[in-house]
Amino acid sequence: MYIVVGLGNPGEEYQNTRHNTGRLAVAFLEKKEISGIKIVHLDTFMNKSGGGVAKVVKSKKAAEKLVVIYDDLDLPIGTMKVSYNRGSGGHRGIESIVRALKTEAFIRIRIGTSPVTPSGKLKKPQGEKAVEKHILSDFKKPEMDVLKKVFKKLEPTIEALVEDGLQKAMTVGNS
């Protein structure tokens, strides 16, 4: 059984923000009937995610079946990347989980939230204030439409993970 967690912040004021991409993704997945997964909703803020995850993932071995879905500024909106046993990339929610579980050996599904230029070049916000403003602002309607297409790709990615393993999930999710 895989434990699937979507990172974000609790509270209505954060509901549709870019930083809540993980929570939005898990809400989408919850409507699907995917066997072999257990969706866990954290009641913690992003930077304290490790405490919530540690309540359901009790060992390093159990962490290998943990799937964490979250927003990533290093990816353009409309993209998704599946990875395993990687660093945090500076994401404080992931840093919190790594500290709490004492391992990086878990699955990540990163969903892009950065804007792109008309030619498709990444337009990542620069500077701490710009980043904070971006991640804590709500998705615009066209961005939400793009995000929903990414969420639709999540279902076959998770199914591939459960049925055929991580490599197959990476092939499906990273294509």
For residue 109, what pLDDT is reported?
98
141-164 vs 166-173: helix crossing angle, rounded to 10: 150
For residue 106, count other CB atoms closer than 10 A to its CB: 25
> Given the structure tokens 């979507």, which residue do they identify?
6
Number of folded domains that form the chain? 1
pLDDT higher than threshold 90 for residue 121: no
Residue 117 pLDDT exceeds 90: no
Q: How far apart are CA 14 and CA 141, in angstroms?
A: 16
> Which of 117, 109, 120, 111 shows the shortest CA–CA distance to 150?
111
Checking if the pLDDT of 24 tops 90, the result is yes
The whole domain housing 34 covers: 2-173
Average pLDDT, the chain: 95
**pTM (predicted TM-score):** 0.95
Q: How confident is the model at residue 119 (pLDDT cuts 50, 70, 90)?
A: confident
Q: 167: domain CATH number?
A: 3.40.50.1470
Query: Hey, which residues are catalytic here?
Result: 19
Task: Please identify which residue in the block is written with the tokens 């004492």.
Answer: 102
Instruction: Quick: pLDDT tens for 40-97.
Output: 999 999 999 999 999 999 999 999 999 999 999 999 999 999 999 999 988 999 999 9
